[in-house]
Structure 1
C-alpha cells in the first residue's frame, strides 16, 4: 500500500511538474557548438557506406510521406492556429549575447538597429507559440574588428502532461486534415446522374 502511494506520487510529480530543458548554441571563430545541459554534442563524420544507406532509407521515407507533400497553405494555417490556441503552452526563457564587427562603421551602426528591431519581432512571434518567461539580448558592436561571436542560451519548461496534450491536439488535427482529403478524393470525378 505504501509503495503504491509512493509510485502514484512520483508519477504525478513527473506528469505535473515542469522539466527544464537547457539548450545552448555557441558560434565562435566560425565554429558552431551545441550544448544540452552543458554537455557538448559532437557531430561524427559518417563513412561513405553509411551515408549511402542513410540516403536510401531517407528516399524510402520521403516516398512514404505523400500525405505531408499534399498539405496545402490552408492546412499549414490550420496547424499554426491550433498551436497558437493551445491552452497549455510550454514556458521558455531566452538569453542572447552577440558580438560583431565590420570594417565599415556605418554598416555596423545600421545593423545594430536592425538586430534590435528583428529581435522584438522574434519576441512577439515566440509569444504566440510559447509563454515567454524572460528574454534578454546583449549586443556589443566592434567598429574596427571583423568578427562575429554569438551565444544563444534557452531553457524550455514543459511537463509530461503538456507534451501529451500538445501531441494529442496535433495528431487529432492531422487526422482531421487527412480525413477531409480522403473524402474530397472520393467525390472528385465519377459518374454524374441526373
Structure 2
C-alpha cells in the first residue's frame, strides 16, 4: 500500500492506495496475472461488501466484492453510487450488480456504464445467466465477466462447472447455508476448491 495525500487550500486528505490488475483469461480469474481461487466464509478470504466497504481489506490481503442492495426504481443510481464511492479501493476486484434481485434491462445498461466508468475491474450479477429475458448474459463482452452459480450440487460442479469451456470466469458463489444441519456436505464442496 502507498500513502498519498490530496491537498487543497483548506484541507488535506490522506488515503492508502494500491496497484493491481484483475482479468478473466482462459476462463480463470487472474489477480496480477496469477490465477486465483476465492475461498472464504462470510468475512474471511473474500468478502461481499454489501452497503458498507471494509477499508481494512485494502491492506490486509482480503479480496472484496463490491455489492449493493437494489430496488427496482433505483438500480442505476445505487450501482453508480457504489462504483463512485469505491472506485479508489484497491481491494475491490469485482463490481457486483446484486444478488437474487431478479432481472431488468437496467442491469445490462449499468454493466455498460460500469465498463465505461471503471474498466479495471470485473463485472458480475448473480444468476443473470439463468434468468429468462436476459439475452447476452453469458459470454457477452458487454454484460458479465463471470458466471456466479449459487448452491450447485457437488456432482454438478464436478461434471459441468470446471469442464465447461467459456470466456467467462466461473465462481461458485454460495455452496451451503448454515441453517440447522445444512452444512453437512461442506467437505464435499471444499474438496473441489483446494
TM range (shorter): under 0.3
Give the structure with the larger helix fraction: 1
Higher-RCO chain (CA-CA 8 Å, sequence separation at least 6): 1
Bigger radius of gyration, 1 or 2?
1
What TM-score results when the alignment is normalised by the length of structure 2? 0.24
What TM-score results when the alignment is normalised by the length of structure 1? 0.24
